[in-house]
Chain A
Amino acid sequence: MADDIILETRGLTKEFKGFVAVDRVDLKVRRGTIHALIGPNGAGKTTVFNLLTKFLPPTSGEILFNGQDITHDKPADVARRGIIRSFQISAVFPNLTVLENVRIALQRATGTSFHFWKPASSLDALNDRALAILDRVDLRRFAQTNAVELAYGRKRTLEIATTLAMEPELMLLDEPTSGMGHEDVDLVKSLIKDVAKGRTVLMVEHNMGVVSGICDTITVLQRGAVLTEGTYAEVSANPQVIEAYMGTAEAAHG
């Protein structure tokens, strides 16, 4: 059974000067599933993400990835283990082209990232793979456009493409649809479903509509602590959840 769990937290806690943002969270993410972390604003979803990827150090608790303790890793080392995250505000490299954005992700594995004496054209060998990934997310025709010029929805798509290029074992998506219009949300939903094949996805989401169709397991956070966990049907029928989250948030019905 233990092999089934790709990521586990035990008593994960984060305090900011007396304020407990994340309160003894025990999380188990099963391999090969899409797992969502939901909750009202300020529930501590993004803080949990920052703890998992070591962008913030936890106050106490443990984080295990494939059974190994990663609680004291550095952010770049967490990434090297195969946990790649996205960010809530779109995280692209604005003045690099769309192709270069994806290529940066592919480049590290080549081991030439410190080679300052080699021409940049040595990276052209990665172009085919980068373009194949851009094809998959329908961004190929923007390959030579600077990322800053892209529409918002496409920036988020590019971000997922870059994350995908890392071939992550575990993909962490922080509100992948935030700020998007309806058509874009549907596109990103099907994209997430597509990229989740053969890997595990843990996503933070505010929009219940996104979560309902694609997630296997949903964990509801409230004031930094786990309120309940289960399938969409179980969670959405839970009266506590309805009171804490669905009753208050307009987005819940979206």
Chain B
Amino acid sequence: MAEDQYKPHPSRDDAAEFRYHRRAFLVMMALFLVAPMVVYPVFVMKALCFALFACAFNLLLGFGGLLSFGHAMFLGMAGYVSAHAAKVWGFPPEFAILAGTAAATVLGVFAGLLAIRRQGIYFAMITLALAQMVFFFSLQAPFTGGEDGIQAVPRGTFLGFLDLTNTYVLYYVVLAIFTAGFLLIYRIIHSPFGQVLKAIRENEPRATSLGYRTDHYKLAAFVLSAGLAGLAGATKAIVFQLASLTDVHWSMSGEVVLMTLLGGMGTIFGPVVGAFAIIAMENYLAELGSWFTITQGAIFVVCVLAFRRGILGELEAWLRRRRAG
């Protein structure tokens, strides 16, 4: 073992990592606070909902190593329940969002129990199959409104004093929900549970041999991810006053994979960047019509070929090299 005695061994600098995260978080918050003065607020709200959705997905893929191809079921089902609660049951928005989140969490328990029995591609296939079942349920069940969806959902008054019919009030409420979800995900990743989750991602048989019942941890991660994806979907339904089949469709499950990979899987801010990039493209390239899908596909191919770690992944690797060198 003497051979590398005098070679420098690269150390991981957790303190520097934390400083970088804190700085990036402050920059992100500053941008979001002033964004509605510069950009159309509804666009930013849409992107914030998708950013939270992608962060929840990244918790499972980037830190648990589990590729779900059915995450739209949590986004969409939470949207339906939230919209139904607000419109038919007359729930105030905060309780409608909570109801949607709870529904996605419960759905996550059942889907997770079935899916975590298999690994890799089979895990992805089970989640896809379950999501397709949820899609057909949403198409047929009377309360979802089938092809029409649930329209004209009242926004109401948040916590009894924040009038959500005012776009700016709505914007800052959505920003607060996003921030709470984002910080919770950050904490989960940097928690005792997150440590075990990363160990399972790195080497599952070894984690088992140390006495960890890995299925329980994977299920917990799956349910947390489902619940947070539900929070995003439930909020989105209140913002757009609409819950529709688009959000439970399998292409939505694909879109969140794309957002996460484009931004940087396994990074903290990558999914946010990826979600904003994709939503911006959808908004500003919409006039391209069917060419839009082709553009999106081309970007994905370039991303996978040229910068596999995603936008933020590549940026962070470059920063780390510079710090070390």
Contacts and interface: CB of A to CB of B under 8 A. Distances in A.
Is A bound to B?
yes
Given A108-B210, A151-B1, A97 B192 contact: no
Contacts of B216: 114
Given A84-B209, A91-B209, A145-B10, A113 B193 contact: yes
A94 to B, nearest CB: 6
Given A87-B205, A108-B210, A108-B211, A117 B12 contact: no
Interface in A116-157: 116-120, 122-123, 141-142, 144-146, 149-151, 153-154, 157
A151 B196 CA distance: 24
Give the one of B2, B14, B195, B205 with max A CB within 10 A: B195
Interface stretch (B43-51, B84-92, B126-134, B183-191): B183-191
Given A87-B209, A108-B212, A119-B191, A113 B196 contact: yes
A123 B187 contact: no
A200 to B, nearest CB: 17
Nearest to A144: B11
Interface residues of A, number: 52
Interface in A82-129: 84-87, 91-97, 100, 103-105, 107-108, 110, 112-120, 122-123
B195 A116 contact: no
A145 B11 contact: yes
A85 B209 contact: yes
B323 to A, nearest CB: 14
Contacts of B211: 76, 79-80, 84, 108, 166
Interface in B173-206: 187-188, 190-196, 198-199, 202-203, 205-206
A118 B205 CA distance: 26
Contact of B206 (A87, A108, A157): A87
Contacts of B151: none
Given A100-B195, A166-B210, A114 B1 contact: no
Contacts, number: 127
Contact of A93 (B1, B10, B199, B224): B199
Contact of A122 (B12, B192, B212): B192
9 contacts: A55-B208, A96-B195, A96-B199, A100-B195, A107-B192, A116-B187, A116-B194, A117-B191, A144-B12
Given A93-B198, A117-B187, A145-B10, 9 more contacts: A75-B209, A85-B209, A91-B206, A92-B203, A93-B207, A104-B210, A117-B188, A144-B12, A151-B4
The 7 closest A-B pairs by CB, nearest first: A79-B211, A116-B193, A93-B202, A144-B11, A91-B206, A120-B190, A76-B213
Interface of B: 1-4, 9-14, 187-188, 190-196, 198-199, 202-203, 205-214, 216-217, 220, 224
Interface of A: 53, 55, 74-76, 79-80, 84-87, 91-97, 100, 103-105, 107-108, 110, 112-120, 122-123, 141-142, 144-146, 149-151, 153-154, 157, 162, 166, 183-184, 187
